[in-house]
Amino acid sequence: MSHRRCPKCGKTFEEPARFCAQDGTPLVALAGEAPPARTLVRPAASAPKPRTNERAGSLTNELLDGRYQVGKKLGEGGMSYVYLARESSTGQSVAIKVLSPRLSGDKSSVERLRREAGLAMRLEHPNVCRILRLGETEDGIIYLVMPYLPGDLLSDHEVQKGPIGIDPGLGWLVQMCHGLQHAHDLQIVHRDLKPENIMLVPDNGSPGGSRAVVMDFGLAKERRQEPEVAKLTATGIVLGTPEFMSPEQIRGKTIDGRSDVYALGILAFEMFTGQLPFEGKSAQEMMIARLKGKAKSIRAVRPELPVRLEVALAKAMSLEPDERFTSMLAFAEALQATEESGIFAKLFKR
């Protein structure tokens, strides 16, 4: 059987693997080995298998790649389908993210998924969802394996229960800050923070009985990016969720961790009020408002909220990056300072 090598870490893998399971780097053929015999001419009567496989959207009850018993579909988006699955050898429950058939044949989409794996495999923090493995089946299904996190999306929690109370809300925000600081320390910017990308996992040791976990680094971007990565996100091409993007991201400018600070400020405002801090009849109008206007005061919507919270969020959502918190840890400290009882100082003492 032919083998291929990861040029980054040096590990070898058997065919048909195309990406390194450790860091997501494309594999190369070992010197002296012939390429796999998968390019033989087929008889005229046989139609070639398409690389974009329609099975990606209906994998329930299938054994994926001979390794994962796929269960129910957990959700789907523009780029992927997400399934609950069980690893056959260990019995471990995992979530599998499968690139959609529409995009699996697109080189830039595959590269973006490969980057997601390469970046998220480096993350190791209780408030960040890491990637365990990147794989590809013989018929071209490309997938990511992640730990399965039971719980509710923050977006679903907001829909079901309305604006969130100050105590659990502050606790979750501080946890998100710590998880994002870990990513920023590795030069990784999330750049798509929104309630749909935050999972609340049951945890008796956390405020409100749940731990906040930042998910989906699919649009994550290394600040020190390589030229081939830069081509995927050329200046002027806006990636992210319009309602939560920073002004510099809307403009297609270079971004850093302070862009995540801005997005988390908007997320926090929505958590506590059920509203966005900028008004507009469409996402485009709200984007324009962020480029020209000032964020609404959170106490104009909920006067009972602490003044220090109002000050912290106003700073986080400043128009200019230099006027925001310089780090997620600084933002976390400002959020903790809004709690007068001292409970948060004990829970999050560093």
In a 3-state reduction of DSSP, which class is residue 108?
helix
Among residues 116, 126, 68, the alpha carbon closest in space to that of 92 is found at: 68
Catalytic residue among 139, 152, 156, 192: 192
Q: How many CB atoms lie within 10 A of CB 251?
A: 15
- For residue 253, the 8-state DSSP code is -
- Return the bridge partners of 82, or none: 75, 97
Q: What is the Cα–Cα distance from 4 to 51, expressed in whole angstroms? A: 20
* Measured CA distances, 106 to 5, 142, 180, 243, 254 (Å): 24, 12, 30, 27, 25
Catalytic-residue membership of 192: yes
Tokens matching residue 251 = 């403009």
- On the 0-12 / 13-18 / 19+ scale of CB atoms within 10 A, 232 is middle
Query: Taking a C-beta distance cutoff of 8 angstroms, is the pair 113, 168 a contact?
Result: no
What positions carry a catalytic annotation? Answer: 192
